[in-house]
Amino acid sequence: MRSGAVICHDGISAAERADLYAVGGIGVEISTSNRSALIPDFLVLGTPPVGTSFQPGNVLLIGEIWSPGNTSSEQQEKFQACERAGVPFFWSVAQDHGGPVELAAYRLVDGRYKCEGTAALGQGPVRIAPSPVPLDVDVASLRLST
C-alpha cells in the first residue's frame, strides 16, 4: 500500500514546492482528552522535518487512515482537536481489510472543517484541491496488491 505521505510527497514534488515536506509518524503537539500529542498517519509541514514533534502552526495538513477498529468517538476527538488547533487541511481515509476505500478532504473555514473533496475506490484519479497543493488521488493505488 502506498502511504498518504508518499502521495503528498509526489504531489509536492510535481508542484515543485521545496517549502513543503510530506512525512509520516511524527508527533504534533495537539492534545486530546486521552493524549498529550497526536501522531498522525501522515502530514505536510511548512518547515523542514527536524525533530520528532512539531507545533500545530507548522502543520498544513494532517491525514488519518482509520482502521476498521477505530471508534467514531476516537475519530471525532482527533478531527475536532485538529480543527481547534487550526490545522488548515485534514484528510480522513476510511479503509476495509484491503486498504483505503474513501478519502474525504477538509479545509478549515471560519474555524470549522468543511468537506470540499472526496475520492472513492473505483472512481479513478480525482483532483483533491483541499490540500497545500492540489493532488490527483486514485484510491485504488493506495490498496494492497492481491
Instruction: Please report, for the domain that includes residue 48, its CATH number.
Output: 3.90.1570.10
**102 in helix, strand or coil?**
strand
Using the predicted structure, report yes or no on whether residue 101 has a pLDDT greater than 90: yes
Q: Which domain holds residue 69?
A: 4-142
Q: Which pLDDT belongs to residue 25?
A: 80
- Residue, of 142 and 63, whose pLDDT is higher: 63
Q: Name the grid cell of 88.
A: 488548515
Give the count of beta carbons closer than 10 Å to the beta carbon of residue 47.
15
Count of structural domains within the chain: 1
Spatial CB neighbours of 53, under 8 Å, sequence gap ≥ 6:
26, 27, 28, 29, 37
pLDDT tens sequence across 33-90: 777 788 888 899 998 888 888 899 999 999 999 988 889 999 999 999 999 999 999 9
Q: How confident is the model at residue 1 (pLDDT cuts 50, 70, 90)?
A: very low
- Residue, of 131 and 33, whose pLDDT is higher: 131
Least confidently predicted of 6-10, 23-27, 68-72, 126-130: 6-10
Q: Which pLDDT belongs to residue 2?
A: 52
| Sheet of 42-45, strands arranged across | 21-23, 42-45, 59-66, 89-96, 99-109, 112-120
Q: How confident is the model at residue 105 (pLDDT cuts 50, 70, 90)?
A: very high
